[in-house]
Amino acid sequence: MAFDTDSVTNQTIDLDKPDFKFNNEVNSFSKVNVNSCWHCKSCSGGCPFSFAMDYHPNQVIRLVQLGQKQAVLECQTIWICVGCHTCSTNCPLASDMSSIMDSLRQIALRENVRIAEPDIFNFPQEVSNPIERYGRTHKLEIMLRYKLVKRNWFEDMDVGLKMLAKRKLDLLPSKIDKMTDIKQIFNDRAKRAI
């Protein structure tokens, strides 16, 4: 049986292969009962980024309810959500949509599915790497590593040169004294990940 989600993408979903274990997993990982959603669309109506999403927030919930694991994990929406909580504030059930989206991102990474918005994933990753190593950011390294991932060495080159000329970019990284605290934060984060 096919089901038109009436989404921004007009994608057709195959309801013959629901994965209800996925539904349970999202409930338990996010600590939100996605099956209680009324589909009043207050979340989607208030989301400041719904214009850029392939599925609106309540549609993502509907897909989880229907056990459409592949469609959810491969959609752009889970990467576009910035966790601003506007939706939860509007929701009559105060459902924590940010927690749902966060859980879906974690599951997508664990399952190695195609990331629909790789730039949105790569950039914060490149920002957090030097924080883990030095306890603070090192902008030059972040820029170079991000360029390496994107393979577009010359885009924004003029901005980088201006920043270097104005001494806004340190050539070498500097480390904070209390690296043990930083290591603890990253260890805790690794333990929380599934």
57 counts as binding ligand SF4 under rule CB under 6 A: yes
In Å, the largest CA–CA distance within the chain is: 61
Choice from 31, 33, 40, 110 touching ligand SF4 (CB under 6 A): 40
Contact call for residues 184 and 130 (beta carbons, < 8 A): no
Of 12-20, 65-73, 86-94, 108-116, the segment contacting ligand SF4 by CB under 6 A is 86-94
43 counts as binding ligand SF4 under rule CB under 6 A: yes
- The letter for the amino acid at 162 is K
66 counts as binding ligand SF4 under rule CB under 6 A: no
Choice from 13, 26, 64, 87 touching ligand SF4 (CB under 6 A): 87
Q: How many CB atoms lie within 10 A of CB 23?
A: 19
H/E element holding 118? helix 118-134
Of 55-63, 152-160, 165-173, 178-186, the segment contacting ligand SF4 by CB under 6 A is 55-63
Rounded to 10 deg, the angle between the 57-65 and 97-110 helix axes is: 60
38 counts as binding ligand SF4 under rule CB under 6 A: yes
Contact call for residues 53 and 131 (beta carbons, < 8 A): no
Choice from 91, 104, 108, 140 touching ligand SF4 (CB under 6 A): 91
Q: Where are the beta strands (DSSP E) in 15-146?
A: none
- The letter for the amino acid at 176 is I
84 counts as binding ligand SF4 under rule CB under 6 A: yes
**What span, in angstroms and rounded, lies between the C-alpha atoms of 106 and 159?**
34
Residues 130 to 189: which contact ligand SF4 by CB under 6 A?
none
Residues engaged in binding ligand SF4 (CB under 6 A): 37-43, 47, 49, 57-58, 61, 81-87, 90-93, 95, 97-98, 101
